[in-house]
Amino acid sequence: MTNCGNKIQVYVWVAQHNVSRYTPPPLLLTNAMVFMAEVRVASSAIRNRHDAVARISSCRICGNATGKRFSANGFDWFRCATCGTTQKLLTYDEYQNLNPSYDPGSFLDSRNRDQIEDFLDIQSATRVLSEVADRYLGGPKVHDARPTFLDVGCGMGRYLIAAERLGFDVLGFEPSADHARVAIEHFRLPVINDYFIPEKVAGKVFDLIMLSHVIEHIYDPKRFVHDLVGVLKPGGVLIVITPNNESLVARTIGKSWPMLKPLDHVSLIGARAYAHFDLQDLADVHHSSSEYPYEYVAALLSALKSSATKSRRGRSTHVANATDTTPRPLRDFGIKAKVLRYCLVAASAPMYLAAIAAGRQACLKTVIIRKR
């Protein structure tokens, strides 16, 4: 920091602390020296952080150069020209220090089981698992014994409930204490309140594994997928569902894409990235994509809203408002909400049809089948 910069910082401090010409000179000098010491420490930390980020020169998936960088939601990002992923530029230590909250709080305690199941949309989850089991596993009854199912990032147990009803022996991992509590206390599901690592399943292998909207939170997606494939039985299936980084909505909205907003979204991938996961000798990989008919305009409006409030909100924290005791997903939606949805569907129709034609819809589903 230059001498001129130091003087400016002192002037700012004097203004903030209402120091007048009547302040005793010794006190003024002492306080100013303390303040400048704090400024130097903060400046050093900022420089060290920028230096650490600047040294990140390779993609976490394919290892090639990071490519063009950009800023969004208070963070630096890059889009890899080789594998097409969009990644948040941060060190592993910074990644571990991210502290988002997706906890539902205690509001579900006042709901009965049927209400929670309706909120979780168990029927939709059952369709997803049943379709994959029928196509790739020959149906849920894979062997004489009950087939096994693992859900990593299981939340409140949506896919666990669905798999259990399809006849699977289930197990879930969920790091959120409140989400895990709902799964355990309301649905009596076997959920481990922790992050997944292979050692924690004690050598057990699975017929079907679900990774739904989790991989975008993972610092090293390639290694994580390999860990999951490693606990699949031969012929077993891993389902990975994630926001599609190659979708039309992502590419047209760009750095205002709402999926770049959550604090711990650090790795946004598309189908192209899987060519660099080194799975050729381990598994077969199949992709499909889907999206809601109203998704494009809804995402665009969300981006515009974020842009309009950017100056007041600063860096995104994605922490729920503790004073909001009625969660948005459980509120009753009346006729106005339905009319709004129909309007969004109509406005989104051209991009929705274009995304279908191009196979670049907003949600990517990847099915990975371990070779026998």
E-strand stretches of the chain = 69-72, 75-79, 86-88, 148-152, 169-173, 191-192, 206-212, 232-243, 267-268, 283-290, 363-370
Residues 308-334: tens digit of each pLDDT = 876 565 544 444 333 343 444 444 557
Specify the number of domains making up the chain. 1
Q: What's the pLDDT score for residue 109? A: 66
Cβ-count burial 286-314 (b if 16+ within 10 Å, e if not): ebebebbbbbbbbbbebbeebeeeeeeee
pTM (predicted TM-score): 0.80
For residue 29, is it within any domain? yes
Q: What's the pLDDT score for residue 329? A: 45
For residue 82, is it within any domain? no
| Residue ranges of the chain with per-residue pLDDT less than 70 | 1-55, 102-110, 139-144, 310-333
User: The tokens of 59 are what?
Assistant: 């993609």
For residue 15, is it within any domain? yes
Q: What's the pLDDT score for residue 105? A: 55
For residue 130, is it within any domain? no
For residue 108, is it within any domain? no
Question: Radius of gyration of the chain from Cα atoms?
Answer: 25
For residue 323, is it within any domain? no
What does DSSP say about strands 69-72 and 75-79: parallel, antiparallel, or unpaired? Answer: antiparallel
Q: What's the pLDDT score for residue 14? A: 43
For residue 281, is it within any domain? no
How much is the mean pLDDT over the chain? Answer: 83
Residues 338-362: tens digit of each pLDDT = 898 899 999 999 999 999 999 999 9
Q: What's the pLDDT score for residue 147? A: 94
For residue 68, is it within any domain? no
How far apart (Å, rounded) are the C-alpha atoms in residues 368 and 83?
18
Q: Which domain holds residue 22?
A: 1-55
